[in-house]
Every structure is written in C-alpha cells, then in structure tokens.
Amino acid sequence: MLINSTWTLSVSEPTILPRSYGLELVKQLHKKLGLEMGEEKISSVSHSGIMGICSTSKDFFTFHPEEFYKLTLCGLQQVTSKAIFQLNLSDSLDFLGAKFNITNREDVSTSYAELYTSLVANEPEPVRRFDLHFTTPTAFAQGGINLPLPIPSSMFRSWLERWNNFAPVYLGSDELITYLSNAVLLKNHKIQTRSWQLQKGYVNGFIGDVTLQVFHRADPLLANVANLLVQYSQFAGTGMKTRLGMGQTNLLFK
C-alpha cells in the first residue's frame, strides 16, 4: 500500500516557529503514528513540513492567519501507510506552542502492484514528457557533498532505490540507471536554491519546475519504467532527507 495524505492548515493569529522546527514536528508525527524514528536505513515515510507563504527572519518563520498551509505525509509500505491512513489529528496540530487548525484532509492511495500493472505490465503507450514541481528543497548526497541540481540520473537513482527496497517487483539497478541516463534528458527547468534548516546546520536544495523528456528512440518498455518511477516520486519524494521534509515532488499536468 502507498498513501499520500495532505492536510490543509490555518492559524488564528500570527504564529512564530523556529526555522529548525522540522525535527520536532517529525518526532511528534511519528509518535502519533506509533512509529519509531531512525530504525530504517531507507525511511518508509516522507514528509513535507508545513508548506505555504510565511515571513522569514534569520531564525524564525511567521505563519499568517490570512493564509492556508499544507502538510503532507506519505507512506511507502503497508505498516506506515496504514498508520498514516488511520492517523486522526482531530481539529488541530499543536507543537512547540503553536496551534494549526485543520480545515481539510485529502488522501491518495494505491499499491505497488497497481502502479506496475497499469504503467508497465499492460504496455500502455509511453509517456515521453514529465513535468515535475519540487515544493521543498531537494538535493542529492554525492561523494560527501550535497548537490542541489535536478540531474536526471540522480533523480531516477533516488526513486529506484526506494522502489527496490519496498516494492515486491524488482526493477533493476545500475544498468537501468545507465540506460535511463542516456534515454531521458533535462529539457528545461525553472528552479532556485533554498536552504532547509535542520537541528544543527542546514542543507541547500533546489525548488521549482523541471521538465524531463524521453527520447523517441528509447525502448517503449523502459520509457514506461521511467514513467513508473516518476509517478512513484509523488509518494517517495526525491533525494535526501525526505523524512525530514526535503524533496517533496508533485507532477504537473499540462
């Protein structure tokens, strides 16, 4: 089971949180879910932080009563997805002295088998263009440094690693990444860098829009595998520290 759950939030008065609020929020959400943090090598939960328009200072965010905010939680396997599906935040989310009112919840759920069957096994006509929107800072760990750039091979490697770890259908490894790197190009992007504050220090990442294009000479089956991984990104997120709010990924339909 896979689930993407999004809550719409608001505040009744200007609300201030430290820029490093993310870890405390993740801890509280895991506690509510009945899940332990840090036990998985690859996290089966991705999380967005609180997204929306807020004022920033050096050390704090200020959330405003005239705005609406979003909080997304995604589960990548049965236990975590079931816990997210059953999570009841009641009327508000309260932490660090802040109170966010909950006005709506939307759930999107599927399964690995359903995704694989509809997008690959049934051999649909290949999709050759993918428009993605990265809503929270996204970066990749490479050789001891963090790379805040939308490199296609890094994105596909990130999605494939999670898919192979949690899905019952193994898709391949380095050979698949090599093929996709030569079959999919970064057609255009409109991105900017943003820092994501952690408990100690911060990570630079990119946010914004990215378009990937599959070459027409690409094998239709592998083009469908590329589409499968892109669709999966809406649950898995992209890149590093998705459990802590980085790498939230949406698909744009044009």
How far are the Cα atoms of 20, 26, 193 from residue 201, in angstroms, in the given order?
Answer: 9, 17, 16
Environment class of 199 (CB within 10 Å of its CB; exposed 0-12, middle 13-18, buried 19+)? exposed
* pLDDT tens digits along 176-197: 999 999 999 999 999 999 999 8
- Output the domain CATH number for residue 236: 3.30.70.1900
Q: Are residues 99 and 146 in the same domain?
A: no
Residue 126 and residue 220 in one domain: yes
Question: Helix 152-166 to helix 220-236 angle, to the nearest 10 degrees?
Answer: 80
Sheet holding 15-18, edge to edge: 15-18, 60-63, 54-56
Residue that is last in its domain, among 110, 132, 151: 110
Helix (H) or strand (E) holding 14: none
pLDDT over 90 at 16, yes or no: yes
pLDDT class of 58 with cuts at 50, 70, 90: confident
Give the position of tokens 């090599």.
Answer: 178
Name the residue range of residue 154's domain: 114-252
pLDDT at 200 over 80: no
254 confidence band (pLDDT: 50, 70, 90): low
Q: Give, rounded to a whole angstrom, the gap between the first and last alpha carbons of the chain.
A: 28
The one-character DSSP state at 227 is H
Check whether residue 148 and residue 225 sit in a common domain: yes
Which residues have a Cβ under 8 Å from the Cβ of 188 and sit 6 or more positions away? 210, 211
DSSP string, 229-252: HHHHHHHH-SSS-GGGT---EEEE
Distance in angstroms (rounded) separating the CA atoms of residues 221 and 218: 9
Predicted structure pTM score: 0.95
User: Average pLDDT of 11-28?
Assistant: 94
Q: Name the pLDDT band for 38 (thresholds 50, 70, 90).
A: confident
Q: Are residues 170 and 80 in the same domain?
A: no
Boundary-marking domain end, from 110, 142, 165: 110
Q: What is the pLDDT of residues 111-137, one digit of tens each?
A: 999 999 999 999 999 999 999 999 999
- Give the domain-ending residue among 110, 125, 146: 110
**154, 237: one domain:** yes
pLDDT-derived band at 253 (thresholds 50, 70, 90) equals: confident
Residues 193 and 206 sit within 8 Å (Cβ to Cβ): yes
Domain count, the chain: 2
Domain of residue 88, CATH code: 3.30.70.1890
Residue 142 or 249, more confident: 249
Same domain, 134 and 79: no
CA pair distance 101, 78, nearest whole angstrom: 28
